[in-house]
Amino acid sequence: MEIKKITGLELNKGLNLVWEVFLQCEAFEYNRDGVREFRKFLDNKELFRIFNTYGAYIKNELVGVISIQDQQHICLLFVKKEYQNSGIGKSLFEYVMKNSPHKEITINSAISSVNIFKKLGFSVTDTEQFINEIKFIPMTFNKDRKLIQILKCRNKEIELGRHTLIMGILNVTPDSFSDGGQHQSVSEAVKHAKKMLEEGADIIDIGGESTRPGHTKITDEEEIERVVPVIKEVAKLGAIISIDTYKYTVAKAAFEAGAHILNDIWGLQYDNGEMAALVKEYDIPVIAMHNKNDKEYKEDIILSMKKFFRKTFDIANKYGIDKDTIILDPGIGFGKGIDENLEVLSRLQELRSMGRILLGCSRKRFIGTILNDIPPQKRAIGTVATTVCGIERGVDIVRVHDIVENKQAAMIADKIIRSW
Catalytic residue numbers read 364, 399
- Strand 52-58 relative to strand 2-5, pairing: antiparallel
Q: How far is CA 351 from CA 37, 158, 181, 244, 302, in A?
A: 39, 21, 35, 22, 8
Q: HEC string of 257-311?
A: HCCCEEEECCCCCCCCCHHHHHHHHHCCCEEEECCCCCCCCCCCHHHHHHHHHHH
| Local structure of 63: helix, strand or coil | strand
CB 293 within 8 A of CB 323: no
- Strand 358-359 versus strand 326-329 pairing type: unpaired
DSSP 240-251: -EEEE-S-HHHH
Q: Which amino acid, one-letter code, is at 364?
A: K
Helix, strand and coil content of the chain, in percent to the nearest 5, comes to: 45, 20, 35
Could you tell me where the beta strands, DSSP code E, fall in 144-200?
Answer: 149-153, 156-160, 165-171
Cα torsion angle, 33, 38, 41, 42, sign: negative
Spatial CA neighbour of 312 closest among 246, 252, 365:
246
Interior angle at CA 268, CA 250 and CA 325, nearest 5: 100
Burial of 343-382, coded b for 16+ CB within 10 Å and e otherwise, reads ebbeebebbbebbbbbbbbbbbbbbbeeeeeeebeebbeb
Q: Give me the count of residues in the chain.
A: 420
Give kind and range of the element (H or E) at residue 95: helix 88-98
CA angle at 199 for the pair 195 and 204, rounded to the nearest 5°: 65
- Structural contact between residues 67 and 76, judged by C-beta atoms closer than 8 angstroms: yes
